Amino acid sequence: MKRHPLLAGAAVIAAAALALSGCSGGKDEPSAPGPSAGKSASPSASGAAAPSPDRSPIKVTINSIDPKFSPDNDVAQKLAELTGVTLDLQYVVGDLTQKLDLWLAGGDYPDVVVMHPKEVGKYIDAGAVIPLEGLIDQYGPNIKKAFGKYYNLLKAQDGHIYTLPAPYLAEETPADWEAPWAVQYDVLREAGYPQIKTLDQLFDVLKAYYEKHPTIDGKPTIPWSGVGGADHPDWILNNPAFQAAGKPDHSWFLIDDRNNVTLNILSEDQKRYDKFLNKLYLNGMLDKEFFTINYDEAEAKTAQGRTLAGSLPAWFLKYPEQSLREQGKPERQFANIELLFDENTPDHSNTITPINSNNNWQISKNAKDPARIIQYVDFLLTDEGQKLINWGIEGKHYDVVDGKRVVNAAWKAKKTEDPEYEFKSGPTGPFYWFTYGDGAKLSDGDYATPNTKDYWQSTYDDATKELLSKYGKKVFSEFMPPVERVPAWIWQLAEPTEGRAEFKRVQQVYKKESPKIVYSKTDEEFEANWNRYVEEIRKAGSAKVEAAYDRAWKAYIDQYNQTMGQ
Amino acid sequence: MYRKLRSQYQLLLMSVPCMVLLILFTYVPLWGWIMAFQDYSLSKGIAGSPFSGFSHFADLFRDDRFYLVLRNTLAMSGLSLATDFVGAIALALLLNEVRVRLFKRTVQTITYIPHFVSWVVMANIVLGSLSPDGGIVNDVLMKLGIIREPILFMSKGSWFWAIHTIAGFWKELGWSTIIYLAVLAGLNHDLYEAAEVDGAGRFQKMWHISIPGLMPTAALLLILATGNLINTGYESQFLLGNGLNIDYSQVLDLYALDYSFSIGDYSYGVAISVFKSAVSILLVVSVNMAARRFGGFKAF
Amino acid sequence: MRRRYGAADYAFETFNYVFLLLLGCLTLYPFLNLLAISLNDSIDSVRGGIYLWPRAFTLGNYRAIFQADNLVAATLVSLARTLLGTFLSVLFTTMLAYTISRRGFLFRKGFNLILILSMYVNGGLIPYYLLIKNLHLTNSFWVYIIPGLIGAFNVIIIRSYFEQLPEGLAESARIDGASDFAVLFRILVPLSAPVLATITLFVSVGHWNSWFDNYLFNSKQHLSTLQYELMKILLKSVQQVSTDAARSGKVDRAVANTLTPQSIRASMTILVTVPILFVYPFMQRYFIKGITVGALKE
């Protein structure tokens, strides 16, 4: 089960991975243009109009990590018609990393290998993926246009481009993003819909509600819970800690103004959050199973409606909230709001990156006609392509009403009824990866994707609408601070090989010692436990981990600054 | 020699192709063990990766964590081997005493069902039953007045071995019993007849016929199983484990997985695998020798 | 003089039946629990509390699984590999077991040792993958059959059973000039029905449940096995959460009838387990046959 919270609204930096992958030299020169090159007209140097492309039908093999993708839905067919390219999906049902390693060992990877930027380094080192910059120069004017000033970030340290991430053109918070802290509607209602800004303010509200309602539906009320500490100790402690401090999501790390990297779990923020949990514990308000419950059980518990609040991201709440609505308890759903340790802390927790890098496309040396693949991607990055992969086909998946695109009502009804239908017919497939991103706009000034505030609002139930109206919000994303662009998130850089074993050990100490801190009975005990925890983490080699990531981050930032001409 | 070979051509015909296949698919891939002595990298392959001697083994033996997980591995597999072994034989003997055939078959079939239920599901059932928040075990203990506060079963590290053993016993008991039932079914029926004529009771028959009949198979399975003491798998421990019991729940296979997959250090993972094979072979050979010496029985 | 049925016997019988009944209930529970969950509305199951009986009955989970394409073809592939694979494997395993049970066989000791040790060594996934690839077994049906043809554990079990059989039978046949094939298939095999049935069960269950070889070696749709297709469906539901989040905007708060991993897993387990449950009673017939045949021949 791979649910990475950090991938929620994912965006990543590919170039980073490449920059740091430690290329071993002796690379092939940019490969000669593919066989189709001769047939294509040469591109006009300035214009974004694609050269009149070869549209003879070809099949391109590609690995798909998502078995839901249907290879021949309406949009895929339309794309085949427009570009001649049909994607032949090879589903990987199981561990993708393992499969990528075996493919690499055996040399039998597909034409297009889709992978996380973390994995790309080994493929580059082995010479399994080909450099693309020559092909892009010739066949990818729209690729260049879409990435704009960030285009050079695609380059690896050796100056070649091996990987195709997606441009991230959003200038506003995507409409469906939600802050990480969840509070039950009923708690907010009973408190008179107060403006809650800090964890301590929330604590008081929870305490009042808990004292009044020690049980809900005959079972004990749980004022504070998490997403399953047994499988995911980082999600219940580490992530909330930096979130409450208003810091951007660099998973285990904090990055200061001078780009120094330190471990979050050793920070004052972590200590402060542990202290907050300790306060909940001492007041009997922390879920008894906070550290021992697993994801599935946590989901079940949350669906019973007796959890009042917690660090519960929206993606975790999906099934529980559905269940609560079906049980006729819409008032037990959760509002995701923004909280901090301290009202006056500046809040930088809502971030996006210049490039969306997660399921990047690489063209392997097994590809017979790389030029056609570049042309395909080039088309996806035109306005026409964006409409097709985000909205679908006009008249079928969307309509234009008063000059604005809206989701077709019949199509919406159909996919609500049958979730599979969306994949069998709609704009879904590996090509979807190249979306400009939610919150981005096309040249016509309208949104690039159907994920708009209007759309979201139209899906809410009455209880949700009422709650939002009390706070004067349209959608939950409006609770979040304004979105900021950061050069990258550190968790998307290639993992430094140095200190990997130490990092694993550090995480284990963290997993083992954290509960003891939270379960301290007195302040002195808390201090003692915290100090021992810090000492053990240091002993496990935290300095080596920090140094390795510090180097990696600084190297990336150097490249970033160079690219951006600073 | 040649003549013997010729006279045994039928036996050779039967066995040699099989052995070729077996060697091809189990022994030939052992060239991968070279990785344990290299700093293997996928992109360079075996041929291109530099050799590092015994450094991975040295790292392994230097790691304190390794001894802890080794202890957990041996303790947990020892416990499940013992319970499973005794339990399966006992259940086979009990089932053998049932004369209502439909009942016997039904119980037999039912007891082996949990074998097919994945650990993910079993772990959720176990964790749900032991939950301090409405779990059936705590509820019953509270109602009976044995405890006042729910017990946090999964937070108590030292209880993990017991919980894991019971869960595994529940899941695999029926499956382990099948083979003993087959052996019991194959025992010479005349022996029972004769014993009955001699006036032997139920327990005497069990003691003098059934148990000795099971012994060769039981001893064989026991010897083979000692070789697997170090191979516990990791799924059940991983699914039942959490931060509070990690010092008791982490086993060697999980530790190896952490390194060879999460960390991507294939060489270290292979070194662990080589170490495991060495221990397995040492165990199985010495137990076999001991059995031959003291019990007059050998597996090979 | 047959012993009378005493009080101790009655006490034992009572204990035995009650004990086995309880044990049966205990081991049946996970299955019944899964059955209940598989027949319960997916979203309703999320809040837990389903034990033996569905709370909101539906066949929707099964319907959703049966909607998947390729399920029929995958079932046929699974059946084919199970039938053919089991037959060939048991045949070759039995022959090998016979040879190493024969006293006086030249390579008896050597083969025995190679077999036993093979259970404890493992070269790792990468060399194995390269081997299969170099043998051109990838994207081929035969990768399901050939690599696992000989299971050392099964060979040793059958060997031990053969060794336990009365020596005289085979010996006298050999003196009468019977070939090794005749001795094995005419005399030993009929006498060994219980153990062969057991090994058949082990091997067939292994074939039926296996999906890893499919994932590793076969990416062509027409070679997909049932377990693999079901894994795909499960993965779909697991990924629902993550990709929805990643792709953002495709989660519809109004969507009611999505399927959760829990429900899919339950229905899947029931679907693949039920056929196996029918195999076992069939095998049990041979547990009895062994006795009668054995008694006749003695």
Closest-CA residue of chain C to A359: C246
As a whole number of angstroms, the distance between CA A142 and CA A120 comes to 24
Supply the DSSP string of A485-504, one letter for each residue. E-S--GGGSPPPSTTHHHHH
Taking only the tens place, the pLDDT of each residue in A502-525 is 898 899 999 999 999 999 999 999
Supply the DSSP string of C17-69, one letter for each residue. HHHHHHHHHHHHHHHHHHHHHHTB-HHHHTT----SS-SSB-SHHHHHHHHST
Of the two residues B44 and A203, the one the predictor is more confident about is A203
Could you tell me if residue C40 is inside a domain? no
3-class secondary-structure state, position C147: coil
As a whole number of angstroms, the distance between CA C47 and CA C130 comes to 46
CATH number, domain with residue B132: 1.10.3720.10
As a whole number of angstroms, the distance between CA B91 and CA B174 comes to 8
Joined tokens for residue A347: 């809040």
Could you tell me if residue C51 is inside a domain? no
As a whole number of angstroms, the distance between CA C47 and CA A327 comes to 10
Give the CA-trace dihedral at A318, A322, A327, A329, to 10 degrees: 70
Nearest by Cα to B126 from A108, A520, C30 = C30
Dihedral angle sign, alpha carbons of residues A304, A306, A308, A309: negative
Between the CA of residue A255 and those of A30, A150, A259, what are the distances in Å? 36, 22, 6
Taking only the tens place, the pLDDT of each residue in A401-417 is 998 999 888 888 887 77
Chains touching A (at least 3 CB pairs under 8 A) are B, C
Of A3, A296, A324, the CB nearest to C262: A296
Indicate whether A242 pLDDT > 70. yes
pLDDT band at B297 (very low <50, low <70, confident <90, very high): confident
* β-sheet bridge partners, residue B38: B51
* Structural domain count of chain C: 1
Of A24, A97, A512, the CB nearest to B246: A512
Q: What is the ipTM of this complex?
A: 0.90
Is C124 close to B273, i.e. CB distance below 8 A?
yes
Joined tokens for residue A484: 């900021």
Contact C239, A68 (CB under 8 A): yes
pLDDT band at A53 (very low <50, low <70, confident <90, very high): low
pTM, rounded to two decimals? 0.87
**Which of A66-70, B18-22, B174-178, C247-251 has the least mean pLDDT?**
C247-251
Q: Looking up tokens 């037959």, which residue turns up?
A: C87
The predicted pLDDT at position C288 comes to 64
Q: Compute the mean pLDDT over every residue in chain A, rounded to the nearest whole number.
A: 86
In A293-407, the DSSP E strands lie at: 307-310, 334-337, 351-352, 355-363, 398-401, 404-407
Joined tokens for residue A166: 């997606």
Taking only the tens place, the pLDDT of each residue in C173-214 is 888 888 889 989 988 998 888 999 999 999 999 999 998 999
From chain B, pick out residues whose CB is under 8 angstroms from the CB of C209.
116
Is C44 close to A323, i.e. CB distance below 8 A?
yes
Could you tell me if residue B59 is inside a domain? yes
Nearest by Cα to C48 from B79, A164, A509, B125 = B125
From chain A, pick out residues whose CB is under 8 angstroms from the CB of B127.
292-294, 297
* A377-383: average pLDDT: 95
As a whole number of angstroms, the distance between CA A13 and CA A22 comes to 16
pLDDT band at A13 (very low <50, low <70, confident <90, very high): very low
pLDDT band at A22 (very low <50, low <70, confident <90, very high): very low
The predicted pLDDT at position A393 comes to 93
3-class secondary-structure state, position C225: coil
Is A99 close to C248, i.e. CB distance below 8 A?
no
Joined tokens for residue A552: 């990696």
Closest-CA residue of chain A to B241: A230
pLDDT band at B114 (very low <50, low <70, confident <90, very high): very high
Q: Which of C1, C3, C13, C165 should one mutate to test binding to chain B, selecting the residue with the greatest count of B CBs within 10 A?
A: C3
Joined tokens for residue A548: 């390795």
Is A289 close to B258, i.e. CB distance below 8 A?
no
From chain C, pick out residues whose CB is under 8 angstroms from the CB of B280.
120
Residue burial A70-94, b: 16+ Cβ < 10 Å; e: rest = bbebbbbebbbeebbbbbebbbbbb
Indicate whether B174 pLDDT > 80. yes
Helix (H) or strand (E) holding A89: strand A85-91
pLDDT band at A16 (very low <50, low <70, confident <90, very high): very low
pLDDT band at C69 (very low <50, low <70, confident <90, very high): confident
Contact A231, A295 (CB under 8 A): yes
Contact A96, A2 (CB under 8 A): no
What is the domain extent for residue B183? 52-295
Whether the CB of A306 is below 8 Å from some CB of chain B: the reply is no
**Which of A454-463, C66-75, C254-263 has the least mean pLDDT?**
C254-263
The predicted pLDDT at position B262 comes to 63
Residue burial A368-406, b: 16+ Cβ < 10 Å; e: rest = ebbbbbbbbbbbbbbeebbbbbbbbbeebbbbeeeeebb
The predicted pLDDT at position A566 comes to 57
As a whole number of angstroms, the distance between CA C173 and CA C12 comes to 44
The predicted pLDDT at position C221 comes to 83
- Cβ atoms within 10 A of the Cβ of A224, count? 24
Contact A167, A147 (CB under 8 A): yes
State percent of chain B over pLDDT 90: 53
* A475-503: average pLDDT: 88
**Which of A262-271, A336-345, A468-477, B249-258 has the least mean pLDDT?**
B249-258
Closest-CA residue of chain A to B120: A296
Chains touching B (at least 3 CB pairs under 8 A) are A, C
* Alpha helix segments (H runs only) across B49-154: 55-62, 64-96, 101-111, 119-130, 136-143
Q: Are strands A261-263 and A253-255 parallel, antiparallel or unpaired?
A: antiparallel
Is B124 close to A220, i.e. CB distance below 8 A?
no
Closest-CA residue of chain A to C233: A67
Angle at B186 between CA B180 and CA B191, to 5 degrees: 110
Of C46, C64, C67, the CB nearest to A320: C46
Contact A426, A411 (CB under 8 A): yes
CB neighbour list of residue A12: distance below 8 Å, 6 or more residues apart: A117, A165, A353, A355, A356, A357, A358, A488, A489, A492
pLDDT band at B263 (very low <50, low <70, confident <90, very high): low
Counted across chains A and B, CB pairs separated by less than 8 A come out at 90
Is A291 close to B45, i.e. CB distance below 8 A?
no
The predicted pLDDT at position C262 comes to 87
Residue A492, amino acid = Q
pLDDT band at A332 (very low <50, low <70, confident <90, very high): very high
The predicted pLDDT at position C243 comes to 40
Indicate whether B17 pLDDT > 80. yes
Nearest by Cα to A7 from A177, A228, A226, A242 = A177
Could you tell me if residue B11 is inside a domain? no
From chain C, pick out residues whose CB is under 8 angstroms from the CB of A358.
246
Dihedral angle sign, alpha carbons of residues B109, B115, B116, B118: positive
State percent of chain A over pLDDT 90: 61
What is the domain extent for residue C244? 60-297
| Sheet order of strands, A355-363 included | A85-91, A58-64, A112-115, A355-363, A164-167
Residue A362, phi then psi, degrees to nearest 5: -125, 145
Return the top range by mean pLDDT from A229-238, A271-280, B133-142, C6-15. Answer: A271-280
Of A125, A127, A296, the CB nearest to B124: A296
With a CB-CB cutoff of 8 Å, which residues 34-53 of chain C face chain B?
34, 48
Cα A481 to chain centroid distance, Å, stands at 18
* A436-459: average pLDDT: 89
3-class secondary-structure state, position A225: strand
Between the CA of residue B36 and those of A344, A498, B51, B172, what are the distances in Å? 55, 19, 9, 34
CATH number, domain with residue C66: 1.10.3720.10
As a whole number of angstroms, the distance between CA C198 and CA C94 comes to 12
Could you tell me if residue B116 is inside a domain? yes
Supply the DSSP string of B185-246, one letter for each residue. HHS-HHHHHHHHHTT--HHHHIIIIIHHHHHHHHHHHHHHHHTTTT---SHHHHHH--GGGH
Is C295 close to B190, i.e. CB distance below 8 A?
yes
* Structural domain count of chain B: 1
Whether the CB of B113 is below 8 Å from some CB of chain C: the reply is yes
The predicted pLDDT at position B4 comes to 79
Nearest by Cα to C174 from A331, A284, B7, A239 = B7
Closest-CA residue of chain A to C67: A420
From chain C, pick out residues whose CB is under 8 angstroms from the CB of A296.
262
Taking only the tens place, the pLDDT of each residue in A166-184 is 998 888 898 888 999 999 9
Could you tell me if residue C75 is inside a domain? yes
